[in-house]
């Protein structure tokens, strides 16, 4: 849908947002220490270094730029979104930069720490119950205020497609080229909305890159069974317990045709791997990054078994600081029934041997 013609204010707003991309530069690409020889390297693309602390920073900017190009946002337009996570924080950041009011419609049970992060970026929040009512309420709130409902689940796909060559995959390939490395054999990312894997996979296919795209998925999520069976509208109806990945249904931005492998990771293993990442490197990341680390270990192990050489790059999606009292808290983890002993032992074995269980067929 297209709105009104693009105004001078909107053109200036697009230039402002584009300028932030130039000013931010690239995020760090760090080498993860692996046991054994260096025939296969593991690199971590640290998206927590974005100004709002997550890879959703670029996606939020893309959503706003796309809506501005389509004439859906103009001077003074209230912005509304239905999410309480990293995307809402980033959208609030860019809305404040443009002088626009921003409201996140959130489930009533959303924790105070999450709400504070939205407030710190100049946003407001509007609680509703039940949780699935956030989408209808956000749509109505935008209509009632003469605002624009950003609707990331509907529009992120088009926004990342508009982003063209300036996306995460292109940045990763340039990073490795700068350090004299080959194109990676795999890029591993989490799958939540599906927008990140879409951007990575479509760029790699469009440019003819030999690099393949792997995504990691959580328990109860629809992506792995849907991708494995070729069912684009697969749904489980059960929420993910690992923040940042997994959905009860396959969301519109996800493009399974550009994903080469989906790796299901048990929730307790994701949490244990998040802690393992901190213990080995000192990098404090969110739980989706633990799942990505496990997926990367699968692929490194399989490449070594096959006598292949090259690199695997995993995306570190966000900082672990907002999760200090959840995924990093032993009491909180135990209350969810997660026993981290067995996955922690498996991670220690990998640290000693470089071999990870029985990886899925790649």
What per-residue confidence (pLDDT) applies to 12? Answer: 98
What per-residue confidence (pLDDT) applies to 162? Answer: 78
What per-residue confidence (pLDDT) applies to 166? Answer: 60
What per-residue confidence (pLDDT) applies to 361? Answer: 44
What per-residue confidence (pLDDT) applies to 37? Answer: 86
Domain 56-157 has CATH 3.40.50.1100: yes
Q: Given this chain, do its domains 23-54+165-353 and 56-157 carry the same CATH topology?
A: yes
CA distance 114 to 361: 38
Residues sharing a CB contact under 8 Å with residue 37, sequence separation 6 or more, in sequence order: none
CATH architecture entry for 23-54+165-353: 3-Layer(aba) Sandwich (3.40)
Say which DSSP state 152 is in.
Answer: H
Angle, alpha carbons 15-206-190 (nearest 5°): 80
CA distance 146 to 277: 46
Q: Answer yes or no: are the C-beta atoms of 262 and 362 closer than 8 Å.
A: no
**Tokens representing residue 123 in the block:** 């946003």
Parallel, antiparallel or unpaired: strands 29-32 and 40-46: antiparallel
Distances (CA, A) of 107 to 82, 138, 170: 9, 11, 35
CA distance 348 to 36: 14
pLDDT digits (tens, 9 = 90+) for 190-221: 999 999 999 999 999 999 999 999 999 999 99
Distances (CA, A) of 333 to 44, 52, 159, 270, 351: 25, 26, 36, 12, 23
**Tokens representing residue 163 in the block:** 């982003």
Q: What is the mean pLDDT of each run of 10 residues along the chain (362 residues)?
A: 79 96 93 92 97 95 95 97 95 98 95 93 96 94 97 90 76 93 92 94 94 97 97 93 95 96 98 98 97 98 95 97 95 97 96 78 45
Paired with 127 in beta bridges are 106
Domain extents for the chain? 23-54+165-353, 56-157
What per-residue confidence (pLDDT) applies to 360? Answer: 46
Paired with 103 in beta bridges are 80, 124
Question: For the residues of 262-303, what is the DSSP string, one character each?
Answer: EEE--HHHHHHHHHHHHHHH---B-HHHHHHHHHHHHHHHHH
What per-residue confidence (pLDDT) applies to 5? Answer: 83
């Amino acid at each position: 849908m297209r709105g009104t013609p693009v105004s001078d204010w909107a053109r200036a707003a697009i230039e402002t947002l584009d300028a932030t991309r130039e000013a931010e530069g690239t995020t760090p690409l760090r080498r993860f220490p692996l046991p054994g020889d260096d025939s296969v390297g593991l690199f971590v693309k640290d998206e927590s270094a974005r100004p709002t602390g997550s890879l959703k920073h670029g996606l939020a900017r893309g959503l706003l730029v796309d809506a501005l190009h389509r004439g859906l946002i103009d001077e003074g337009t209230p912005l509304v979104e239905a999410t309480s996570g990293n995307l809402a924080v980033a959208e609030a950041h860019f809305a404040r930069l443009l002088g626009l009011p921003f409201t996140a419609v959130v489930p009533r049970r959303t924790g105070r720490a999450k709400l504070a992060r939205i407030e710190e970026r100049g946003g407001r929040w509007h609680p509703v119950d039940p949780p699935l009512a956030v989408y209808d309420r956000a749509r109505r709130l935008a209509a009632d205020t003469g605002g624009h409902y950003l609707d990331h689940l509907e529009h992120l796909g088009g926004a990342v497609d508009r982003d063209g060559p300036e996306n995460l995959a292109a940045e990763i390939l340039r990073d490795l080229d700068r350090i004299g490395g080959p194109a990676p054999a795999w890029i591993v990312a989490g799958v939540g909305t599906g927008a990140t894997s879409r951007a990575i996979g479509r760029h790699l296919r469009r440019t003819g890159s030999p690099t393949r795209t792997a995504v990691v998925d959580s328990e109860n999520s629809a992506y792995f069974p849907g991708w494995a069976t070729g069912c684009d509208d697969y749904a489980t109806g059960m929420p993910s317990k690992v923040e940042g990945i997994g959905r009860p249904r396959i969301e519109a931005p996800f493009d399974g045709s550009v994903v080469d492998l989906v790796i299901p990771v048990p929730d307790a293993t994701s949490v244990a791997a998040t802690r393992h990442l901190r213990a080995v490197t000192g990098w404090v990341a969110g739980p989706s990054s633990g799942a990505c680390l496990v997926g990367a270990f699968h692929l490194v192990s399989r490449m070594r078994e096959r006598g292949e050489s090259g690199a695997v790059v995993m995306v570190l999606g966000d900082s672990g600081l907002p999760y200090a009292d959840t995924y990093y808290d032993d009491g909180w983890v135990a209350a969810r029934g997660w026993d981290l002993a067995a996955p922690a032992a498996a991670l220690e074995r990998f640290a000693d041997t470089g071999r990870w269980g029985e990886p899925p067929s790649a």
